[in-house]
Amino acid sequence: MNPKRISLLILLLLFADQALKIWVKTHMHLDEAIVVFPDWFQLRFIENNGAAFGMHIATRGGFDWGKLMLGIFRIAMVGAVSWFMVHLHRTRKDTPKGVFIGLALIVAGALGNIFDSAFYGLVFSESTPFSVAQFGGHYAGFMMGKVVDMFYFPLFQWNGVPRLLQFLVDSNNYFFGAIFNLADAYISVATIYLLLFQYKFFSK
């Protein structure tokens, strides 16, 4: 799989992620939900300051150092994975297309969430439960913007969930409780795919 096709795939994935996030950001109030399939699939608009699936890295003080470090980590990951793809293309002619696709998904996912953090605070007004964000606002500095999440799958209530597994449910004990975006899905699907189906290639 040549670099031009990989680059095009990354751009298409990134465009899909950003187009959905911008639509949600500019059409929905914070915490507004659109029921797609009753009882198990909603588009629910939330924002988070931290990692994937709505998680947050807490830090003390007024400046969010955890968010900055996460942004730097994501940028470093994009650079490392991109370099690795170029390295595979040049030195490992036996690399399966699936490996390149999986790595491209990871790069696109990381870039998608980097864009939110880097630019959304600079170009949008703040989303609230009572107002929809508008272009041309400014609610945070560079790399301090919030990541837009929208996919919510409250499949069933799991009352009495063990403490060790509470990360699997939301505040109302619904499984799967995390709210996430396309970028998160890209990274998760690619990681599982590479571990399950391409481990033989990486073990050589």
Task: Using CA atoms of 192, 197, 200, 201 in order, give the dihedral in degrees to the nearest 10.
Answer: -90
Q: Which of 64, 116, 149, 170 is catalytic?
A: 149
- Identify whether the C-beta of residue 3 lies closer than 8 Å to the C-beta of residue 89: yes
Query: CA-to-CA distance for 84 and 86, rounded, in angstroms?
Result: 5
- What tokens were used for 184? 């998160």
- Identify whether the C-beta of residue 183 lies closer than 8 Å to the C-beta of residue 151: no
* For the chain, counts of helices (H) and of strands (E): 6, 6
Q: Which of 17, 64, 116, 184 is catalytic?
A: 184
Nearest to 57 by CA among 46, 45, 71: 71
- What tokens were used for 27? 């059409």
- Is 149 a catalytic site residue? yes
- Identify whether the C-beta of residue 77 lies closer than 8 Å to the C-beta of residue 105: no
3-state secondary structure (DSSP) of residue 87: helix
Query: CA-to-CA distance for 151 and 200, rounded, in angstroms?
Result: 33
Nearest to 200 by CA among 90, 81, 78, 94: 94
- Is 184 a catalytic site residue? yes
Catalytic residues: 149, 184
